[in-house]
Chain A
Amino acid sequence: QVQLVQSGSELKMPGASVKVSCKASGYTFNYFAIIWVRQAPGQGLEWLGWIHTNTGNPTYAQGFTGRFLFSLDTSVSTAYLHIRSLKSEDTAVYYCARASSILTGNFDYWGQGTLVTVSS
C-alpha cells in the first residue's frame, strides 16, 4: 500500500537548521511529484512548493525561497525538506504528499506530518 512516512518531531533553537525526511513506499517514486505544506499551530494549510522526482527540479512558493530547500535521494525513495536559519514563526507541522499533477491538485497520499518547534 502507498505510504509516506516522515521523520520525527524536532526541537530547534532560532538560527539553527532542520532536515525533515519523507520516505515513500508502495509505488514508483519517480511517477509522482512530492509537495510540501506546513500548518502553524491552530492555523490553516500553507503551500511551500514541490519537487519533480524525475529531474529533481524544485519550485518554491513565494516567500519560501532562500531558507527552504527541497531535495531527493531517489535510491531510497525519500524526499527532504531542509530549512536553515530557523525563526520562531517556522514552528509548524510540516507535511509531504505525493502529487500525480500539481495542476490538477490530485494530492492523494500524505505523510503523517513532522512537528518542528523553534524555541530558545
Chain B
Amino acid sequence: GAGVSQSPRYKVAKRGQDVALRCDPISGHVSLFWYQQALGQGPEFLTYFQNEAQLDKSGLPSDRFFAERPEGSVSTLKIQRTQQEDSAVYLCASSPEGRGLGTGELFFGEGSRLTVL
C-alpha cells in the first residue's frame, strides 16, 4: 500500500527484554516522527528525523530508547530493557515536508502496540 506501514502491529515483551519497532514511511517523505500514545492520552512526541538526520530527540523518555533512520527512509525505534511503563502504542508518522514548511499534515501508521509484562 501507499501508506505508512509499521511492524509488528502487536508485541508482547517480558520486562527486561529489548524490542525493535519498524516504520516504513510513505516513499519520498522527508520528515519522520515517532510518538508514544498511552491509553486515554494523546500522542506524545518522541523524536523527529529529517531524511537521515535526527534533528530532535527531546521526547525520548530515557536512554533506553533509541531511534535511527540510517538511509533516510525506514526507521527503527529500539527500546532496551523494557519496563512496564513502556507499554503503549508507538505511532510513526511521515510528512513530505521538511521543517520550515509546516502545513502540519502528518500521515500516521496504524501503530505498534507494545505490552510489557
Binding between chains A and B: no
